[in-house]
């Protein structure tokens, strides 16, 4: 994986997919990281673990525990990250929740609001706060420009050496396969993740001219604390999803992290407004 210069911000980072993404950024050379989660002890553990393993390489971590549905907390977190590092180059909105599956008539409005506040509204609030920072900063130079500009290498038909355009920032939202297709008893969750995909596409249109890319990943059933028991058994009601996917297995959090890092990286410089499905083939079956 290519080195990722700059500053990364990851929400919902304490465990599962979020922790895998935060760790993957650091493993790929990112040395300035801001993380948040409502799980304070798990967030502290991740912070300390990253410093233990990568502190000698110059890693700096800014972490802040809090409620991602609070607009004032988001402003505090993003302001703190900017004050600490001076800029923000990558945002990954991971924070998300689910509830037991029920038909709409059996779902109280408070539960619908909770799911959508965490899964879609919080992602919008975080994106808005980070976009304001990104718009105020100079783009990172293309990694191609760091190579020998005097090189005589030419492209097809003798053209001059091609360089990727600069990037002012990248946002990757974590949606779900259930934002693309639906399943019984999940109207609130499906609505929240479909909203994330729609927001991703709209922001991609709005900020392309500002050299900011906005994409999302749509994971399928991935082995996390939300989907499996402490014994590794798939939670009731989810086993059928594993059988539907042609690959016939659950995903690993690191497989989702790989896709997030690709979308964040220069390798995805022409990828904009994309909803990348990472589900073992669930939605095609």
State pLDDT tens for residues 89-105.
Answer: 999 999 999 988 899 99
Contacts of 274 (CB under 8 A, 6+ apart): 215, 216, 263
Select which of 65, 90, 189, 207 is catalytic: 189
What kind of fold does domain 7-142+167-284 have according to CATH?
Rossmann fold (3.40.50)
Q: How many angstroms separate the CA atoms of 129 and 70, rounded?
A: 12
Which residues are registered as beta bridge partners of 37?
65
Q: Tell me the two tokens of residue 92.
A: 């990954």
65 noted as active-site residue = no
Q: Tell me the two tokens of residue 164.
A: 């990727």
99 noted as active-site residue = no
Angle between helices 122-135 and 187-207 (to 10 degrees): 10
Q: How many angstroms separate the CA atoms of 285 and 281, rounded?
A: 7
**Tens-digit pLDDT profile for residues 6-65:** 999 999 999 999 999 999 999 999 999 999 999 999 999 999 999 999 999 999 999 999
Query: Could you tell me the pTM of the whole model?
Result: 0.92
- Rg, C-alpha atoms of the chain: 19
Select which of 65, 90, 193, 209 is catalytic: 193
Q: How many angstroms separate the CA atoms of 234 and 248, rounded?
A: 13
Report the candidate in 35, 56, 78, 278 with the shortest Cα–Cα distance to residue 179: 278
């Amino acid at each position: 994986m290519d080195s990722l210069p700059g500053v990364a911000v990851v929400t919902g980072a304490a465990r599962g997919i979020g922790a895998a993404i935060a760790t993957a950024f650091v493993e790929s050379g990112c040395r300035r990281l801001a993380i948040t989660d409502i799980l304070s002890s798990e967030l502290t553990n991740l912070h300390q673990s990253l410093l233990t393993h990568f502190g000698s390489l110059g890693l700096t971590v800014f972490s802040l525990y809090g409620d991602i549905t609070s607009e004032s907390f988001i402003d505090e977190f993003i302001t703190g990250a900017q004050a600490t590092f001076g800029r923000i180059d990558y945002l990954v909105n991971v924070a998300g929740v689910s509830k037991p599956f029920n038909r709409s008539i059996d779902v109280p409005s408070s539960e619908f609001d909770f799911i959508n506040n965490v899964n879609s509204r919080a992602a919008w609030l975080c994106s808005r706060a980070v976009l304001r920072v990104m718009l105020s900063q100079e783009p990172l130079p293309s990694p191609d420009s760091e190579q020998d500009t005097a090189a005589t290498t030419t492209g097809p038909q003798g053209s001059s050496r091609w360089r990727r355009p600069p990037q002012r920032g990248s946002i990757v939202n974590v949606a779900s396969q259930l934002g693309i297709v639906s399943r019984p008893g999940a109207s609130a969750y499906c609505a929240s993740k479909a909203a994330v995909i729609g927001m991703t596409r709209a922001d991609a249109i709005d900020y392309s001219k500002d050299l900011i890319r906005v994409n999302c990943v749509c994971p399928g059933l991935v082995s996390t604390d939300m989907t499996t028991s402490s014994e590794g058994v798939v939670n009731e009601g989810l086993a059928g999803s594993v059988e539907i996917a042609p690959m016939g297995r659950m995903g690993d959090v690191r497989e989702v992290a790989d896709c997030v890092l690709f979308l964040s990286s220069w390798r995805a410089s022409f990828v904009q407004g994309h909803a990348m499905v990472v589900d073992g083939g669930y939605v095609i079956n």
